[in-house]
Structure 1
Amino acid sequence: MYQLETRAVAFLDILGFSDLTAQAEKEIVAQEKFEGLKTVIDSHVRWDNDRISSAVPDILKPSYLFISDSIILSVPMTSQKYDGLLIVAIKSIEIAHKVLEMGFLLRGGIAIGNVRHEPKNIFGTGYIEAYKLEQVVSAPRIVLSEEAEAHMRTATSSNSPLKDHGIWIEEDEHVRLDTLHPHYIRDIHQHGRIEHAFGQYRAHISMSLGHRDAKARGKWRAMRAQFNRALDLHRIDVTPIK
């Protein structure tokens, strides 16, 4: 039987992954970078749920798919205490940090709708909406669908309004995630970790502003603007990029 449930689902695309794949067929350095990125993402998909608090029911831990340059994750919207949209949003931000730390950008869409998420496949209009939304997003951003945005404005998680979680940015016609929110950096409790991570981001962005491809340069210019905004918003002691 074709059973569906209401889930929050994110469709995330690693920008530049396809080019890296092509380069890896010819260059040893690109091969090493490709394997490193693949290992980081594959490890996140395989082991992320092991790091989630045992207080969160297993049914509410994200289901993942990692296919080529795309990462798909979804969570049921059935809990009275934990909100599936919030979980998907936070996990998407964590992935964005990991990807940028390796010099790549992330683009995506998050939707709420009917989904059947199997271990090796995913179906349903919720997934299709997230996929279509990602296709029209100007990079690099992760934006909410209209239904997801409406839910964010009215729902609560653990008695706290979703809209007050500080990870949403209103921009143009969409609400997007604050993918540079420092609270979701890996190993956040290490002394100086935030400044170190943003120093790496700064180096990757600055170097990529001279990318040979005009479209790629445009994406990195957009990330420069987001980076400088994040430094000011979160009061991070790193020099802005001119």
Structure 2
Amino acid sequence: MAKKVNNSNSQWNSQPENRFVAFFDILGFKDSVLKDDHNVVYDKLYKLSNHINVLEKPFTGENGEIVPSNLKTYNFSDSIIIFSKTDSAEDFNTFYLSAIVLFSNAVSMGIPLKGGIAHGKITINQSKKIFFGQPLIDAYQIEEDLKYFGIAVHNSIEKYMEENNLEKRVDHFFFEETTPFKSGKIIHKNLNWFLAYAIEKNIEINDKAKVKENILKKIKEFRLTTSGSPRIYIDNTINIIESLYK
């Protein structure tokens, strides 16, 4: 991860500022609340919240220094939101890596997600609990339109990457594929959470066959939890994996 300046004591600006936003939705949550035991649902959410809270904790930098994550997370019911403190290249690095790690951890726990990320001016006033801005809407809308277990990248992120010459530096963690949306199949940029899953399972990421085998095995397990039309999300995810790791 990129070297960062330790500014853990600095306050978040409550005025409008350019930031990165991720919006995640837990798929099938309402059905799970209806059919599963209350304590089972609570236990899953409790374990997931531990992974969410970790994203705000300081981490060890490249040179052994302790640095802040510069992220804020909020989760309520079936929604998870991640905000970055600024839109620096360092915060972008932490932001997208944290997003794919959280996504991978959720899938490992048997919690299917879909999400979107965006960039732009947003107000975060923590004392007044005021959070609003165009990127929050953009991240939500592209997540809402998405139709597979994945993280769609809004064009505002693509623009940021191009303007800051970051595409080649971060290309490993992004991919462009024909992506299933409710509005149709569209060639689109996505975050590659599959890599985080492989790393978590100690799989060599260059061994595409092994990565593919393990991810497909996990995704197919979700077929035991649902029937009918919701399975389209599973089928679409399998198709993405098959195409990406062919």
- Place the TM-score, normalised by the shorter chain, in its bin: 0.7 to 0.9
Q: How does the TM-score come out when normalised to structure 2?
A: 0.73
2:174 is aligned with 1:168: yes
2:19 is aligned with 1:7: yes
The residue that corresponds to 1:102 in the other structure is 109
The residue that corresponds to 2:193 in the other structure is 179
What percentage of aligned pairs have identical amino acids?
21
The residue that corresponds to 1:92 in the other structure is 99
Equivalents in 2 of 1:128, 1:10: separation in Å? Answer: 10
Q: What one-letter code is carried by the residue in structure 2 that aligns with 1:136? A: D
The residue that corresponds to 2:219 in the other structure is 205
5+ long unaligned stretches in structure 2: 1-12, 178-185, 204-208
Q: How does 1:54-203 map to 2 (within 5 A)?
A: 55=65, 57-58=67-68, 61-79=70-88, 82=90, 84-119=91-126, 120-155=129-164, 161-165=166-170, 166-171=172-177, 172-182=186-196, 185-186=199-200, 188=202, 201-203=215-217
Runs of 4+ with >6 A deviation = 195-200
Q: How does the TM-score come out when normalised to structure 1?
A: 0.74
Equivalents in 1 of 2:136, 2:85: separation in Å? Answer: 13
The residue that corresponds to 2:6 in the other structure is none
Shift of 1:113: 1.1
Equivalents in 1 of 2:30, 2:243: separation in Å? Answer: 29
Q: What one-letter code is carried by the residue in structure 1 that aligns with 2:34? A: A
The residue that corresponds to 1:31 in the other structure is 39
* C-alpha contact (below 8 Å) 1:133/1:145 kept by paired residues: yes
5+ long unaligned stretches in structure 1: 190-194, 234-242
2:29 is aligned with 1:22: no
Question: How many residues of Structure 1 are paired with residues of Structure 2 in the alignment?
Answer: 217
Equivalents in 2 of 1:66, 1:144: separation in Å? Answer: 20
Cα RMSD, aligned residues only:
3.3
The residue that corresponds to 2:10 in the other structure is none
